[in-house]
Each structure stands twice: as structure tokens, then as C-alpha cells.
């Protein structure tokens, strides 16, 4: 047995958890040869932080892997789907649909991850089951688990089932805007420089952080704006700058 298998097997599944994982897989039209890897994908680090005997049993490594699979599958689809568009259009849409703003509703409304994710007691009490960052990360972890369990083709097909509808929304200008990309395109075009984001402050316990971020456009500063993740705070700061500059709806 290799190290990977030891990690997957380090927490034995009881019959109730197996039923839950099978229900999750069935709901999402997925088949896992190894339910342990799916279980791992649905364990947040707050669980392993509170359980020393399972201190490595969380989905962070799978999230890292799934993020790359998600990005590649999305980029490949956009490359073929938008043959007449420049790279900037593809990058803007990709950044939008693989963002926390897009993945969290997918986790909650389509995949129903919030019903099956395992959290530590502190995170559970602070409403972690509905936190966008946790849900979005779990989507990526499930994608990573599927890739390891069944290969890239199965993982890609699953990604496209989730992401193509989001791509169509953005193409029809009905999706969530990626304000960081909008702001960067605008500012680079005018000044050939990138916006600079500054983490001004973070408050709260580890399981319930609030981040405060400002964005600097040269000598001008917008924010700080808050978010429950650093990425969300950066998006909110970028949105504030876009609104102030009157470019919220500006397109490339």
C-alpha cells in the first residue's frame, strides 16, 4: 500500500457515510471506484484541525489538483468554442466561470455539496456549510478526486456539464462579473500597469476570518472592502473601483 492509499484509508467509512457518498455520487451522475477518495474530497481542513488522529485527512491537496483540471478543461473548451475571439476574451470568461462566485452556487444549487461536506465543530457553528470559499474549494476537490479515480476524460466531461452553462451566461452577459479582470484590462490599456491589491487587515478566528483589501491604481486607492476570503475581498475592492470609474459594464 502506498502513501496515497494510506491517507485515503486512514478514516474508515461506516455504512451511513457510504450511503451518503453513494447518494451524492448518484445525484451528480458520477461513479467512483473508490468512495474513500470522494470522502476525502468532502472533508474540510477544519475537521482535520480538530481531529489529531486524522490530521492529514482534508481536501486541500485534491483542491489543488482539481483547480488545474478545472482550468485545463475550461480552457480547452473555450479554445474550440470561440475560434474567432482573441486570447483576452477567452481569459476573461475563463477567469469568471472558474471563480468562487460561479463555483459556490454550483456547489450549493447543483451538486448539493453543502449537505455532504464534513466540517469541524467550530466551522459548523460559524455557518461554514454555507460559506462560498469552502463550497467552491470542495467543487475543485471533487473534480480532483474524480480525475484520480477515473481519469481526465471523465473529469473533463463532468467539468463541462457544470461549466458550459456558466460560460453561456457570461457570453450572453448574464453571469457574475469578474471585476478584477475588468479592472485590470481597463487599467492596463490606459496605463500599461496592473492594479495592486493590498491586504489591509484580517479579523476573526481562523474558522471565520474577514479580510479587508484595498486596490491601488497608481496613487489612487479604492477600498478597503471586506470579504470572507481574500479572493472575495479583492473582487469587492475591484468592483468598488469599477463603480467609481464608471466602467462596470465596459467590455473589451
Identify the active-site residue in 140, 166, 178, 225. 140
Grid coordinates in use for 95? 477567469
Asked if 84 is an active-site residue, the reply is: no
Using the CB atoms, write b or e for 51-65: b if 16+ within 10 Å: eeeeeebbbeebbeb
> DSSP for 166-233?
HHHHHHTT-S---HHHHHHHHHHHHHS---EEEEEEEES-GGG-EEEEEEEETTEEEEEEEESSHHHH
Which value, in Å, is the radius of gyration of the alpha carbons in the chain? 19
Identify the active-site residue in 67, 100, 149, 178. 67
Neighbours of 128 (CB within 10 A): 21
Q: Give the per-residue SS3 of 141-167.
A: HHHHHHHHHHCHHHHHHHHHHHHHHHH
| Closest C-alpha among 169, 194, 180, 167 to residue 247 | 180
Asked if 67 is an active-site residue, the reply is: yes
Alpha-carbon distance 173 to 97, whole Å? 12
Contact predicate 227/201, CB 8 Å = no
The H or E element spanning position 96 is helix 87-97
Catalytic residue ranges: 67, 140
Amino acid at each position: 500500500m502506498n502513501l496515497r492509499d494510506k491517507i485515503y484509508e486512514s478514516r474508515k467509512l461506516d455504512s451511513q457515510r457510504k450511503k451518503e457518498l453513494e447518494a451524492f455520487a448518484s445525484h451528480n451522475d458520477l461513479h467512483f471506484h473508490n468512495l474513500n477518495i470522494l470522502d476525502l474530497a468532502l472533508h474540510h481542513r477544519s475537521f482535520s484541525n480538530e481531529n489529531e488522529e486524522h490530521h492529514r485527512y482534508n481536501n486541500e491537496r485534491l483542491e489543488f489538483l482539481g483547480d488545474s483540471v478545472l482550468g485545463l478543461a475550461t480552457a480547452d473548451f473555450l479554445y474550440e468554442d470561440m475560434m474567432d475571439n482573441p486570447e483576452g476574451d477567452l481569459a476573461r470568461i475563463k477567469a469568471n466561470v472558474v471563480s468562487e462566485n460561479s463555483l459556490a452556487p454550483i456547489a450549493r444549487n447543483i451538486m448539493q455539496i453543502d449537505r455532504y461536506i464534513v466540517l469541524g465543530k467550530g466551522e459548523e457553528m460559524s455557518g461554514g456549510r454555507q460559506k462560498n470559499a469552502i463550497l467552491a474549494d470542495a467543487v475543485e476537490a471533487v473534480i480532483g478526486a474524480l480525475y484520480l479515480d477515473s481519469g481526465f476524460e471523465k473529469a473533463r466531461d463532468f467539468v463541462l456539464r457544470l461549466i458550459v452553462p456558466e460560460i453561456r451566461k457570461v457570453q450572453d452577459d448574464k453571469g457574475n462579473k469578474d471585476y478584477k479582470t475588468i479592472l485590470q484590462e481597463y487599467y492596463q490599456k490606459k496605463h500599461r500597469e496592473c492594479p495592486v491589491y493590498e491586504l489591509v487587515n484580517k479579523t476573526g478566528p481562523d474558522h471565520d476570518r474577514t479580510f479587508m483589501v484595498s486596490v491601488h491604481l497608481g496613487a489612487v486607492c479604492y477600498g478597503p472592502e471586506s470579504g470572507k476570503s481574500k479572493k472575495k475581498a479583492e473582487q469587492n475592492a475591484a468592483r468598488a473601483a469599477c463603480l467609481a470609474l464608471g466602467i462596470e459594464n465596459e467590455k473589451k
